[in-house]
Every structure is written in structure tokens, then in C-alpha cells.
Amino acid sequence: MARTVTHSTVVPVTAQEGKEKAVVEFLTGGVPAVEAEPETHQWYAAKLIGTSPAQFVIFDTFPSEEARGAHLKGPVPTALVENAPKLLIGGPTLPEILTEILAHKINKAGDGLKTGLTTGLRATFTAKPEKRETVRKFLIDALPLAEAETGTVSWYAVHWPGTDKFGIVDFFASDEAREAHLAGPIAAALIGSIDELLTGPPDIAKLEVLAAKQGTLEDGAILDYSHTKMSNKVAAKEPQTFHPQFNSADADVVLVSVEGTGFRVPHFTLRNTCGYFRNLLSGKFPSTPLIQPDGQRFMRIVDVEEKDRVLAKVLSMICGLPTDNWESIDEVDEAISLAQKWNAPGPLSLIRAAITAPVFLAEPLRLYAITTRLGWEEEGQLASTYSLTLDLYDESNRPKLETISANRLMALFRLHRNRRDQFKALIDSEGLFAAGNSGRYLCPGCGEQVSNHTWRELKARMFMEMDRRPLGDTLCGLEMEEWPEAIACWEAKCQKEDCGRLNYNKLNTLRDIKRCLDQLPVHI
């Protein structure tokens, strides 16, 4: 098994006018030198299509910083620096080319000038400073999607350390495969996240591959992705026990949880339901002998970094088996994350059907974060309605609010504020509450001018209550009956000695307050 690659360089090169052919010859002539470097695992030289003056890029990968340093002192980089004055326009500084690899997919299509690759893409983009870790996670979690694309030969997600700059470099055997990738889920998710995560649109360049060294892996070999969040390498040891629901003798794949439990699942089930396994199990995959009570079985073992309960939930949905009740919304979120990593639409559909159960509605902010992240609009609207029982400014809600995207969070704040402000406008209306809001209101019994200070104090209390709990369910109810402001308002009387008429009709006023609440928006 090949060692994983963790370090890389992305070297932009611009040819001087009339020197394009010489630069191409220089780059293609560097193949023998990099082929002789065992620690330079992959090396690609490509031309950016449609650029003038002609631009090129060199992308290479290494298993360690030491290996990268050795390459940078080697013949190709040294010759590039020496020939730069007569071939190139300017050049990057060393920090501008050093990158770390966050995740990768590598398949070998050929080597040298006959690479089997014809085209590629190089995309760079800058995260908003506060979204750097979110973008990093986005790229790591995109690996299963790249692996599910059969036309994407190699795919790398990279980061320039110490900066907010990220990139994706990938290679294809045909223009059709490249365009299919551009129309796929990774590009769509990246473009859809520009406003939320990035400082601007990605800089995307199409590449013409000139030459490549693609490592020494045999076709179909399983690569070690242990440096990524989605680790699926051959298990170092056998499972300690098997899950009772997933221990069929007919199953030929064992998924091993972080707790050491084995889950035996038929490979055709995994391949037909999960894009990730469709790619992983499509080539050669080592079989390991396991001694079972009824004899030896040869199984394919895959480590998955998941807990038993979450793994059992998702596999039950994939296999059409009954599932236990959800214990918490945290468990749902973990299951969603696993289903997304595996590119398994079935479990996501089942979770969506159950996501508005009372146990989840009791956590409206968490539910809102999950449903809006996934684009589940109706469920997100329902969650926003249930959030109206909460004070968003309460410090205890901060951790949950921080999980919501900026645009969606602003929409939630607008809903809360609009309910409060529209309610205030309605209860300040003379048309609805003439007795309390008229500048000069006369007692219907005696014609004496009525003081409205108790109504104004009650309005102020209701406004504060709507700020604290925008649903307004505490208004017009038993809790409001105990407010000093409400008691004073309902007991306020005409001050003329021989009149004593109540200033406000309590039942009619409460009815009108309820009508005001009914006119307010109820969801985003």
C-alpha cells in the first residue's frame, strides 16, 4: 500500500512572449528527473487553457515536509529557477507555492508523456477569516463525492498554511469527464456557498495536461486516506465482536466501528446504496481470513470512524431494517453527517421524514441549523416557528446559533424582530385601541378625560415580553393575569367621583390583542 501524501506544491508559471514552446519542452523534459525521485509521489505539469501570455502550473505531492524539501532542492526546481530569466515572467515566492493536502483521490491512468490524462482543473478560493475551519471541513467532507465520480481520475483538496486560501486540483481522462465534474455536487456546493463562506467567486482554470508522474500504484489498489476525516483503509486488526443485527454469514464486507464492533454487510448492498462504497469496492480489495464459529470466512474489512449506535442506525436504513427510536438530535446530526460522507440518499430521505417529530422540535435552533444546512425548506420553516418561544439573545443559545449559517441566522433574527415590531405597531394603533391610544379620550360614562398611563405601561410590558418570547403565547393567558401592569390596567377607573367606570373593557381588549398576534408572520 502506498504511503499517504500530506504535502504538496502548486507552482504557477507564466511564459515570456514567444517562449511558450520552450516552456512546454522544459516541463515535459522534467519527467525523467521526477521519476527518479521516489518520495515525489505525484507530479503534474499542465497548461492553463485560453491564457495570454501562456500560463502553466506544476502540482506535485509528497508524504512529508522533508520529501518536499528534497524535491525543491532537486534538478527540476533548480533548473526552473536558473532558466526563469530567459523563459518566464516573474515567479512566486516559496510560501506562495507550499500547500498542505487535506484530502485526495488518486487513480493511476498512466505515466510520463502518455499519461492517460488529457485535462484538469485548478480552482483557488479564499475563505472568510471566520469561516476558515468550515471551508476546511467542507473540502475534507467532499472526498466521498469525488470518489463517487468515475470520470475523476485524481482529485486533491489543498490549503495554503497560515492563510485563508484553499484550492482544488483534479485531473480527467476526457473533456466530458471534466464537464461532468463541473456539473456535479462538489462544484454546485462550492458555488452555492460563495456568499456564506468565501470572500468572492473561485478562480477556476481549465488545464491541458502536458506530462505527469502518477505514482507506483497498480490499477485498482486501495489507497490510504487515513489523513482525511473519512478514513477507510484495510483494518489493522479484526473486529472484537459483531453487531447482532449485522452478522449474516452471507455478508462479505465488515465495517469496523471505532469501538471495535464489526458490521457484516453484503458488498452489493453498500455499492447500490452509497456512492462512496460504489467507488471503494469497485476495484481490487484485499480479503482477510476471519475465523468464525462455523469455519473460516474471507471478508473485506473497512475501518469507519463512527460509533456503534450511529453506524447501526445508518446501516439499518440502508438495509431496510427496523431502527431504534432516536435518542437525541445529536444522534440525528451524526447520522446525517455519515449519510452525507457515504453519499447515501436513502437514509437522508428517511431522516427527513422523521425530523419534525416532537423530540426534535424541542430543540428548534438545532433543528433549524440542520434543516437549513440541508436545504429542507419546509422543515426549516417549522423549526423557525418553534424558535419563537426562545430569546435569541439569551447567552445560553449562543453555541446553537453559531452552527447556523450567516444568511439563515439573519433570516431568523428578522422573523423574531418583525413579530415584535409589527406587534408594537398594531397595539399603538388608535383604530384598534382607541381607548388607550387616543390623544384625548373621554370617559363614555361622564365625558371626563381618561388617563391612559396604565395602558401605556401594559403596552411596554407586552413589548418587552414579545422581545423575550416572540411567539406571544404568554400574552392573553394566565401568566399575564399576574402582571402588575395588567392588574393596574384592568382595574383603572374614571377618576370622577360620581362615575368610577372602568377605563378598559378587559375581554374586548384581550380579544383585540389576540387578533394582533394572529396577524404576525409565523415562519421565515
Distance, CA of 442 to CA of 524 (rounded, Å): 42
Higher pLDDT, 279 or 234: 279
pLDDT tens-place string over residues 123-162: 999 999 999 999 998 898 888 788 878 788 899 999 999 9
Share of the chain above pLDDT 90, in %: 47
Q: Which residue has the higher pLDDT, 305 or 34?
A: 34
What letter would DSSP give residue 516?
A: H
Alpha carbon distance 14, 57 (integer Å): 9
Alpha carbon separation from 361 to 88, 355, 373, 379, 462 (Å, rounded): 61, 8, 16, 10, 26
| CB count in 10 Å sphere of residue 346 | 16
- Find the mean pLDDT for residues 165-175: 92
Write down the pLDDT at residue 315.
Answer: 94
- 102-116, 118-132, 269-283, 480-494: least confidently modelled range: 102-116
Return all residues near 410 (Cβ < 8 A) that are at least 6 apart: none
User: Given the DSSP bridges, would you call strands 261-265 and 241-242 parallel, antiparallel or unpaired?
Assistant: parallel
Q: Sign (positive/negative) of CA torsion 130, 132, 135, 136?
A: negative
Among 29-33, 144-148, 290-294, 509-513, top mean pLDDT goes to 509-513
Query: What percentage of the chain carries pLDDT values higher than 70?
Result: 89
Q: How far is CA 135 from the centre of its chain?
A: 8
The per-residue pLDDT for 155 is 93
pTM of the model as a whole? 0.54
User: Alpha-carbon distance 262 to 303, whole Å?
Assistant: 9
Kindly report, as residue ranges, where domains of CATH 3.30.710.10 are found in the chain: 246-355
Q: Residue 224 pLDDT > 50, yes or no?
A: no
Alpha helices in 376-447 (DSSP H): 377-386, 398-401, 406-427, 434-437
Domain 7-214 - what CATH class?
alpha beta
Going by their DSSP bridges, the two strands 253-256 and 295-303 should be labelled as: parallel
Please give the Cα distance from 124 to 166 (Å, whole number).
6
Q: How far is CA 92 from the centre of its chain?
A: 32
Banded model confidence at residue 237, pLDDT cuts 50, 70, 90: low
The strand ranges marked E within 175-323 are 203-213, 241-242, 253-256, 261-265, 288-292, 295-303
Identify the pLDDT of residue 275: 84
Give the C-alpha separation, 93 to 114, whole Å: 31
Average pLDDT of the residues in 199-204: 92
Amino acid at site 253 = V
φ, ψ (nearest 5 deg) of residue 238: -70, 155
pLDDT confidence bin for 217, thresholds 50/70/90: very low
Considering only 228-242, 267-281, 499-513, which range has the smallest mean pLDDT?
A: 228-242
Q: How far apart are CA 362 and CA 368, in angstroms?
A: 11
Query: What is the CATH code for 246-355?
Result: 3.30.710.10
For 80-109, give the DSSP string.
HHHHHHHHBS----HHHHEEEEEEEEE---
Q: Is the pLDDT of residue 385 over 90?
A: yes
Residues of the chain with CATH 3.30.70.100: 7-214
pLDDT of residue 61 exceeding 80: yes
The pLDDT of residue 515: 93
Q: Summarize the confidence of residues 358-370 as an average pLDDT.
A: 93
Strand 55-62, strand 152-159: pairing: unpaired
Quote the strand ranges of 4-79, DSSP E: 7-14, 42-48, 55-62
∠501-504-508 over CA atoms, to 5°?
125
Q: For residue range 447-470, what is the model confidence (pLDDT) as tens digits?
A: 888 888 899 999 999 999 999 999
Question: CA-to-CA distance for 46 and 57, rounded, in angstroms?
Answer: 5
Residue 419 in this model has a pLDDT that exceeds 90? yes
The residue with cell 515535459 is 28
**What rounded mean pLDDT belongs to the chain?**
85
CA dihedral 353, 356, 357, 360 (to 10 degrees): 120
Determine the average pLDDT of the residues in 261-280: 84
Whether residue 82 is predicted with pLDDT greater than 80 in this model: the reply is yes
> What is the reported pLDDT for 299?
62
| pLDDT for 41 beyond 60 | yes
Grid cell in block for residue 145: 463525492
pLDDT in tens, 277-333: 877 765 444 444 444 444 444 467 888 878 999 999 999 999 888 888 888 899 999
Q: What is the pLDDT of residues 435-451, one digit of tens each?
A: 888 877 788 878 888 88
